[in-house]
Amino acid sequence: MYTTTEFQQLLEDKLRRKRGKEIKEADDKDVYEAVASIVQDSITEDWLETRQRYEKRNERQIYYISMEFLIGRLMESNLMNCGLLDVCSDALRQLGRDPESVYNQEHDAGLGNGGLGRLAACFLDSMASLKYAGHGSGIRYRYGLFEQRIIHGNQVELPDYWLKEAYAWETRKANESLKIYFGGEVHSHARADGSLEFTYKHADEVLAVPYDVPIVGYRNNVVNTLRLWSAELPEHEAEIPGDSESRYYHHLDHMHSVEQISGFLYPDDSSLEGRELRLKQQYFLVSSTIQNILREYKANGGSIRELHKKTAIQINDTHPSLAVPELMRLLMDEERLSWEEAWKITTAVLAYTNHTTLSEALEKWPVDLVQQLLPRIFMIINEINERFCRGLWFDHPDMRLDIPHLAIIADDQVHMARLAIVGSHSVNGVAHLHTEILKKREMNRFYRLYPEKFNNKTNGITHRRWLLQVNRGLADVVTEAIGPQWISQPQKLSGLVRYSNDAAFLEAAGQVKQENKKVLAELIQKRTGIHVNENSIFDVQIKRLHEYKRQLLNIFHIIHLYNELKDNPSLDLTPRTFIFGAKAAPGYYMAKEIIKLVHHVASIVNEDPVIGDRLKVVFLENYNVSLAEKIIPAADLSEQISTASKEASGTGNMKMMMNGALTIGTLDGANIEIKDLVGPSNIFIFGLSSEEVHRYYAEGGYNAKDLYHTDERIRRILDQLHGGEFGSQEIEFKDLFYHILYHNDPYFVLKDFDSYVVTQELVEQAYRDPRHWQKMSVANTAYSGKFSSDRTIHEYASDIWKLTPVRS
Ligand code: 26W
């Protein structure tokens, strides 16, 4: 490793050679690029060796296919993982540079919407750090998730052109490009041996060009790969025809439409955007990934009949579920296996993770669209469906009536979850409750058919990024108390339990939180101009905006507190700062209304002299991974208040718990597992249970209007929305009012209101005893080890992938 002086030297050399500049003339971007290049140099060898080691030892490989990888920035975590972070930061400081502003030069790689994409990124980190031969495969979108601006309280979306400046971490591998075909006609001919050969006529050819991003393991010399595919025009078509103007324009159009395939990430989280381009993206990803897997496998001398012995593929939600027919196609049409052989291998290789039970998010594609865009794939899906339904009819006579609900093709649609379940050997949910709901309700018919396929893998987060990297203060205090073993064995954080009565430890951890809050308060001041009280409760809700996540319940509570203070200005209320971060899908009207409401409530509450600094409402624009890294270490209270049964797991809940925030939450997703670990005295639980929610949905019995008429607090809030109290002449919230009352409050905001308010009062009382609060906070960090994605990945590896770590 390097001394600070050596690193300084290295950096100055790099700057001179790469940028032709002395450090004095270099701006932060120049310095950033020089540092990135040093990191690249120091990992290249390990990267090569890791690949060679996997090949030489003929290791079993796992490929994680996902339409989303929400990686955020890589500089700090790469530096940390290769052991260079401190030396680099010191060297920068000695050269008179601010390390943070250098690292901040990196544009977030926002190639994901939210939880599902961030989970994929945490998994890559854990696979590399645990020495699993695991790789990611995704799309290199030219535009990531939109950048959010707020104008007069309204969300406006701007394109996120994250590749504007060259991306420091990617390497283009043009010579490993693959061909993908869309449309056209399929013709079949019998070969001499009687097998069928399929040829395509008039199909559009697209080139899939891989870009590799290194995934650096934590101080273990392992560097795995995230391979992102970019769509380009095939070389033989790349020449622009000069013979006629119309052909020239036609050619440009064609090029444009090909490049669109990896053009942008669809910004919809949990609702289906059934557009042809999205289906093209899915097939593009799946076909390039699977062709690539087979090519690597064969290059290493593997026999195709043994593919499943050396390969596992995890499909992240149904988005890549065309992997089922694509693997069948390649095994049969290219490798000449029989249907039966191909099917055995396909189902043995593939495994599917479900991330949501929201019905509007379940993917279905119109038969016509699939048939016309992917004719050969459609033939295979059809055959899978026929064989599956025939099997049901003959082998499961008791389930004949269920066939319409099980069939992969039904109502002129291809049901992707059904395809994924039938074509995989494993189906998993992402938290205990979620998996139970899949088994008992949403996928009960499939569970009865294939009980052995269903299993749970409770989500996790990488504690290296989400504690060690983003909260150095707390990490140091923890290490001082229990030693550094927790870094490689996060469950060892439980050693902190012993410190929950140690005054010095509590004091130190409390001071770190205070320091982090100060830093966040400065960021808030800088970005919003709002001055917040650093001694107030930092009450945080950061996640995508969705009705089921109930940001509305949070705002109703804020309005309620505001009303109380207005009625009784001398009320003794523990000061609070409510912090929101949330992007709404561009077409999601109600979500955008809720963002607008937060802003209008904020502008009234924050300006009111009666309120002073007892309540402040802050909405931080453009919530993304980098912003999360700044908010989470400073959170006191973590809002996890979804309608019970709706949040599959949640992962922000785990990040905040690990950083010592207390959770106020419903018995939903992984909140339940958090509660089971910390115990009921270290968490604030409220609201309907998932059974109660289901009962109301099934049997009725809830009437939102009754609550409007009987609960004065609720009536007052809703009337304030209707009466324009939080708006102006042009801005009103009548739609929210009618939506709640006339659609009978589908997410039980009013129903859970009282219980939420009462529980928030308990929070307030608890916060008045700082020592007690700090004790609870430490208990949360102490029990958070289970939620390291290292634990999750070990479970996937041993139960689903049958993988053991690679020995060095
Ligand atoms: C087709 C449109 C679409 C897009 C995204 C449908 C569904 C999705 C995802 C499944 C939404 C998602 O991110 N789900 C979240 O996954 C996290 C990781 O497992 C969980 O922690 C969250 O609870 C779940 O909402």
Four-point Cα dihedral 457, 444, 543, 472, nearest 10: -10
Note whether 297 and 389 are same-domain residues.
Answer: yes
Residue 194: which region, alpha, beta or left (left: phi > 0; alpha: psi -120 to 50)?
left
Q: What is the mean pLDDT of residues 716-731?
A: 87
Predicted local confidence at residue 249, as pLDDT: 85
User: How far, in Å, from the CA of 361 to the mean position of ligand 1?
Assistant: 8
Predicted local confidence at residue 729, as pLDDT: 66
Residue-range definition of the domain harbouring residue 316: 58-73+108-457
- Answer whether residue 805 is part of any domain: no
Concatenated DSSP letters for 284-299? HHHHHHHHHHHHHHHH
Instruction: Give percent above pLDDT 90 in the chain.
Output: 93
Predicted local confidence at residue 786, as pLDDT: 98
Compute CA distances 382 → 407, 446, 515, 647, whole Å: 10, 19, 60, 33
Question: Over the chain, what is the mean pLDDT?
Answer: 96
Note whether 470 and 502 are same-domain residues.
Answer: yes
Note whether 333 and 383 are same-domain residues.
Answer: yes
- Answer whether residue 799 is part of any domain: no
Q: Is the CB of 320 under 6 A from ligand 1?
A: no
Question: Minimal CA–CA distance to 323: which of 206, 420, 413, 180?
Answer: 420
In sequence order, the 6+-apart residues with CB closer than 8 A to the CB of 135 are: 61, 62, 63, 64, 127, 215, 224, 225, 226, 227
Write the residue with the smallest CA distance to atom 12 of ligand 1: 116
3 state SS of 217: coil
If you compute the radius of gyration of the chain from its CA atoms, what whole number of angstroms results? 27
Q: Is the CB of 649 under 6 A from ligand 1?
A: yes
Note whether 575 and 564 are same-domain residues.
Answer: yes
135 close to 226: Cβ distance less than 8 angstroms: yes
Residue type, 766: A
Note whether 561 and 513 are same-domain residues.
Answer: yes
427 close to 446: Cβ distance less than 8 angstroms: yes
User: How far, in Å, from the CA of 443 to the mean position of ligand 1?
Assistant: 17
- Structure tokens, 74: 């890589």
Q: Give 632-666 pLDDT, tens digit per residue.
A: 999 999 999 999 999 999 999 999 999 999 999 99
- Answer whether residue 712 is part of any domain: no
- Structure tokens, 529: 């101009």
Burial class (CB in 10 A: 0-12, 13-18, 19+), 379: middle
Predicted local confidence at residue 542, as pLDDT: 98
Q: State CA 551 to chain mean position distance.
A: 19
Predicted local confidence at residue 805, as pLDDT: 85
In which band, very low, low, confident or very high, does the pLDDT at 252 lie, cut at 50, 70 and 90? Answer: confident
Q: Give 592-626 pLDDT, tens digit per residue.
A: 999 999 999 999 999 999 999 999 999 999 999 99
- Which atom of ligand 1 lies at the shortest distance from residue 278's CA? 1
User: How far, in Å, from the CA of 365 to the mean position of ligand 1?
Assistant: 18
3 state SS of 336: coil
91: part of which helix (H) or strand (E)? Answer: helix 85-94
Q: What is the mean pLDDT of residues 215-241?
A: 91
Pocket of ligand 1, candidates 66, 270, 647, 787: which has the most ligand atoms within 8 Å of its Cβ, to mutate? 270
Question: Minimal CA–CA distance to 308: which of 354, 341, 267, 270?
Answer: 341
Which domain CATH number covers 249?
3.40.50.2000
Note whether 473 and 571 are same-domain residues.
Answer: yes
Q: Give 343-376 pLDDT, tens digit per residue.
A: 999 999 999 999 999 988 899 999 999 999 999 9
Note whether 167 and 86 are same-domain residues.
Answer: no
Q: Is the CB of 650 under 6 A from ligand 1?
A: yes
Note whether 66 and 88 are same-domain residues.
Answer: no
Write the residue with the smallest CA distance to atom 21 of ligand 1: 650
Residue 807 has pLDDT above 80, yes or no: no
Distance in Å from the first CA to the final CA of the chain: 20
**Position with higher pLDDT, 705 vs 237:** 705
Final residue before a domain boundary, out of 404, 431, 457 = 457
Note whether 447 and 489 are same-domain residues.
Answer: no
Write the residue with the smallest CA distance to atom 8 of ligand 1: 270
Predicted local confidence at residue 247, as pLDDT: 81
Note whether 491 and 451 are same-domain residues.
Answer: no
Note whether 359 and 480 are same-domain residues.
Answer: no
In which band, very low, low, confident or very high, does the pLDDT at 112 lie, cut at 50, 70 and 90? Answer: very high
Final residue before a domain boundary, out of 457, 491, 525 = 457
Sign of the C-alpha dihedral computed for residues 801, 653, 454 and 70 taken in this order: negative
Helix H, strand E, coil C: the string for 133-198 is CEEEEEECCCEEEEEEEEECCEEEEEEECCCCCCCCCCEECHHHCEEEEECCEEEEEECCCCCEEE
Burial class (CB in 10 A: 0-12, 13-18, 19+), 798: exposed
753 close to 711: Cβ distance less than 8 angstroms: yes
User: How far, in Å, from the CA of 731 to the mean position of ligand 1?
Assistant: 32
In which band, very low, low, confident or very high, does the pLDDT at 808 lie, cut at 50, 70 and 90? Answer: low
Counted domains in the chain: 3
| Catalytic center residues | 355, 543-544, 549, 651, 655
Distance CA 780, CA 660 (A): 6
Q: Give 316-350 pLDDT, tens digit per residue.
A: 999 999 999 999 999 999 999 999 999 999 999 99
Write the residue with the smallest CA distance to atom 7 of ligand 1: 270
Q: Is the CB of 272 under 6 A from ligand 1?
A: yes
Predicted local confidence at residue 81, as pLDDT: 98
Q: What is the mean pLDDT of residues 38-48?
A: 97
Distance CA 627, CA 376 (A): 44
Distance CA 772, CA 765 (A): 10
- Answer whether residue 705 is part of any domain: no
Note whether 83 and 122 are same-domain residues.
Answer: no
- Answer whether residue 709 is part of any domain: no
- Answer whether residue 226 is part of any domain: yes
- Answer whether residue 349 is part of any domain: yes
Q: Give 734-777 pLDDT, tens digit per residue.
A: 999 999 999 999 999 999 999 999 999 999 999 999 999 999 99
Distance CA 126, CA 789 (A): 6
Distance CA 223, CA 45 (A): 9
In which band, very low, low, confident or very high, does the pLDDT at 241 lie, cut at 50, 70 and 90? Answer: low
Final residue before a domain boundary, out of 432, 457, 482 = 457
3 state SS of 59: coil
- Answer whether residue 775 is part of any domain: yes
Distance CA 733, CA 599 (A): 12
